[in-house]
Amino acid sequence: MGQMTTKSPKRKSVSYSKWGYFFIAPFFIIFTIFQFIPLISTFYNSFFQNYRVGLQQIGPKFVGFANYIAIFSNADVPTYALNTMIVWVLGFIPQILIALLLAVWFTSFRLKLKGQVFFKTVIYMPNLIMAAAFSMLFFTLFSDAGPVNMIMQSLHIVNTPYRFLTMTGATRGLIATMNFLMWFGNTTILLMAGIMGIDPNLFEAAQIDGAKSHQMFFRVTLPLLLPILVYVVITAMIGGIQMFDVPQILTNGGGTPNNTTMTLIMYLNKHLASKNFGMAGAVSVLIFFATAILSIIVYRMLVTNYKQFSRQKPGKSNIKKVKV
Amino acid sequence: MSNKEAGTGAKALLTFTRILCYIFLVLLTVLCLFSFYILIINSTRANSEIQKGFSILPGKFFLMNLNGLLADANIPILRALGNSLFISALTAVFTTYFSAMTAFGLHIYNFKFKKFAFSFILLVMMVPTQVSTLGFIQLITKMGLMNTFYPLIIPSIAAPIVFFFMFQYLASVLPQEIVEAARVDGSNEFNTFNTIVLPIMKPALAVQAIFSFVTSWNNYFVPALIINSKNNKTIPILIAQLRSADYMKFDLGKVYIMICVAIIPLLIVYIFLSKFIIRGVTLGSVKG
């Protein structure tokens, strides 16, 4: 692409390649200062005992892997990792299934559903809502004397208030419901773009061959949509590991009842807020590795995608269809 | 004959399927809007009314509740709105401008570390900021920037996901020739970027500005750890404060109206820009 500018002694032109560094410098300087160095120092901190008891500062003192052993030996991290996973799965299963269903419906030439713009607008909306406020809203709605209990009592579904937030299943269910509501619209739109990127001739050919709609879905749509599905699942997992705002606000940071809704990042936040930097470091490093493994999968998909894309002629609008 | 019957049969089946689809979609719509409906209704009702029971119709206490909230000295809501607006707006400007700049640098020029730089950004794209927050807080403390807005704004210059979106967009709209033509006209490279490339990128800039504004507006984790004075609090921090206060003693009208303040402004913007925003989601597939 830019070879002309770098290797053209005849044209007596200046080399512009140095400008590349100028343009990318702000990004890399800021990234290094505010993300890369902090990441290294987080790793470093994880090997030190460093916390406060009241006014007394303990450490920093090098303790090797003691922090890691500590977070595993009292089962904190395994429990909270499991909580995070359970709540994520509870929300993600309906999210992906309904998103897939809606994406197929919205793109179906046979159904030709009307009012799509309206439905898409509505289902995407919760994605933009402040998670903290949404969670506060759910807390108010589902509190013992809240509107949901009032409605249930007036319909005689229950006689005494159902105490949602004292029950593990109900609390996890509420968090999962919020996550589901916040993300299924987004997933629907991504999957729709994926389906619309599939060559329409394939659907036509299948139709001519007499394929029924479920055959069309399982034999044509699903296999061709697989890369995007994998991408959606992996990025949703990375998002799931970061689950914080919703359970934090709903349970006031307590992970109630009895720590069953405490997520990994809530645990990290607890240590950060109480300035137990050693433990916070160890938790951070673990979360880093969990997300790093998933990130590498996304990276490989993006790179393959990028290579395919750069082989295409520039200037064509097919970039818009190129999804991971 | 039989063919025709099969045709009408198929047609009936299609209508039936369609009706089922609509019923399902309406149910989902109700599920999505239900909580916001109660929010808006209850924000217009007095505390005593709310505690008596639920009503389908709005009350007449919206302004009363709003005034009550504004008068509450413990909840500096206007201040928080201003703070949130300031931080989010600057974040949106910084993120979009510098991401476009990085994308331009990596798209147009060939230099030694180009490939490395590109791969590096893609590699770190998905790593969440939470994992380096510990080091970040220590750094900010050392810099003496705790309880200021700088640590919430400046780091947004390096936004890998926004960069990737800009890069893809740029690759589809900006041929090398435009930059070369500008050179022939004697334009300095930085000038070319600001006066020729940025206007071409307007649609992408607008979409990403909206998304980064929203992300920053809703951000809770890092600000809650950085901000500690009453006057510097942002909306999500106030919401958390509301949750940790003794809930039972609260005027519920005030609680609802405050959630409204956090949610409704964005909702109104969304209603106007929804088409544009939804198209943006599709374009930048690396969100989520």
Q: What is the CATH number of the domain that holds B124?
A: 1.10.3720.10
Output the pLDDT for position B275.
Answer: 84
3-state secondary structure A14-30: CCCCHHHHHHHHHHHHH
In this structure, is residue A11 part of a structural domain?
A: no
- For residue A317, pLDDT over 60 is answered with no
Inter-chain CB pairs, A–B, below 8 Å: 330
Output the pLDDT for position A13.
Answer: 53
Closest CB from A138, A192, A319 relative to B171? A319
| Confidence band of A310 (pLDDT split at 50, 70, 90) | low
The tens digit of pLDDT for each residue in A142-195 reads: 998 889 999 999 899 888 999 999 999 999 999 999 999 999 999 999 999 889
Closest CB from A36, A232, A249 relative to B243? A249
Q: Calculate the alpha carbon distances from A220 to A77, A124, A269, B236 in Å.
A: 42, 27, 45, 45
3-state helix, strand, coil in chain A (%, to 5): 70, 5, 25
Which tokens hold the place of A246?
Answer: 């919703």
Output the pLDDT for position A314.
Answer: 41
Closest CA to A267 of A128, A59, A80: A80
Q: Is the dihedral of CA A126, A130, A132, A137 positive or negative?
A: negative
Q: Could you tell me if A20 lies within 8 Å of chain B, comparing CB atoms?
A: yes
Output the pLDDT for position A281.
Answer: 94
In chain B, the residue whose alpha carbon lies closest to the alpha carbon of A25 is: B102
In this structure, is residue B138 part of a structural domain?
A: yes
Domain total for chain B? 2
Q: Could you tell me if A125 lies within 8 Å of chain B, comparing CB atoms?
A: yes
Complex-level ipTM: 0.91
Domain that residue B94 falls in = 74-245
In this structure, is residue B258 part of a structural domain?
A: no
Same domain, residue pair B33 and B56: yes
Higher pLDDT, residue A322 or A277: A277
Closest CA to A138 of A130, A266, A15: A130
Output the pLDDT for position B4.
Answer: 60
Output the pLDDT for position A91.
Answer: 97
The tens digit of pLDDT for each residue in B230-258 reads: 999 999 999 999 988 876 677 888 899 99
Chain B residues within 8 A of A245 when measuring between CB atoms: 218, 220-221, 236
A50 phi and psi, to 5 degrees? -160, 95
Same domain, residue pair B57 and B83: no
In this structure, is residue B28 part of a structural domain?
A: yes
Closest CA to B133 of A97, A160, A264, A187: A264
Same domain, residue pair B78 and B30: no
Chain B residues within 8 A of A309 when measuring between CB atoms: 168, 171
Domain total for chain A? 1
Cα R_g (chain B), whole angstroms: 25
Same domain, residue pair B157 and B36: no
Same domain, residue pair B162 and B104: yes
Domain that residue A309 falls in = 75-320
In chain A, the residue whose alpha carbon lies closest to the alpha carbon of B210 is: A128
Q: What is the CATH number of the domain that holds A124?
A: 1.10.3720.10
CB A254 within 8 A of CB A260: no
Q: In the predicted model, what is the mean pLDDT of residues A103-116?
A: 90
- For residue A315, pLDDT over 50 is answered with no
B22 phi and psi, to 5 degrees? -65, -40
In this structure, is residue A101 part of a structural domain?
A: yes
Same domain, residue pair B115 and B225: yes
In degrees, rounded to 5, the angle at the alpha carbon of residue B192 between the alpha carbons of residues B190 and B195 is 105
In this structure, is residue B221 part of a structural domain?
A: yes
Same domain, residue pair B235 and B142: yes
Residue type, B237: I
Same domain, residue pair B104 and B201: yes
User: Which range among A235-249, A294-308, B113-127, B147-161 shows the weakest confidence by mean pLDDT?
Assistant: A294-308
CA B80 to chain centre: 17
In chain A, the residue whose alpha carbon lies closest to the alpha carbon of B131 is: A284
In this structure, is residue B277 part of a structural domain?
A: no
In this structure, is residue B256 part of a structural domain?
A: no
In this structure, is residue A290 part of a structural domain?
A: yes
Q: Mark yes or no for CB contact A320/B277 under 8 Å.
A: no
A48 - beta bridge partners? A62
Chain A residues within 8 A of B29 when measuring between CB atoms: 119, 122-123
Q: Could you tell me if A312 lies within 8 Å of chain B, comparing CB atoms?
A: no
Output the pLDDT for position B283.
Answer: 64
Strand A56-62 and strand A48-53: the pairing is antiparallel
Output the pLDDT for position B5.
Answer: 63
Same domain, residue pair B123 and B177: yes
Q: Compute the distance between CA of residue B20 and CA of residue A197 in angstroms, rounded to an integer.
A: 26
Chain mean pLDDT for chain A: 86
Low-confidence ranges of chain B (pLDDT < 50): 1, 286-288
Q: Compute the distance between CA of residue A184 and CA of residue A322 in angstroms, rounded to an integer.
A: 21
In this structure, is residue B270 part of a structural domain?
A: no
Same domain, residue pair B17 and B127: no
Output the pLDDT for position B137.
Answer: 95
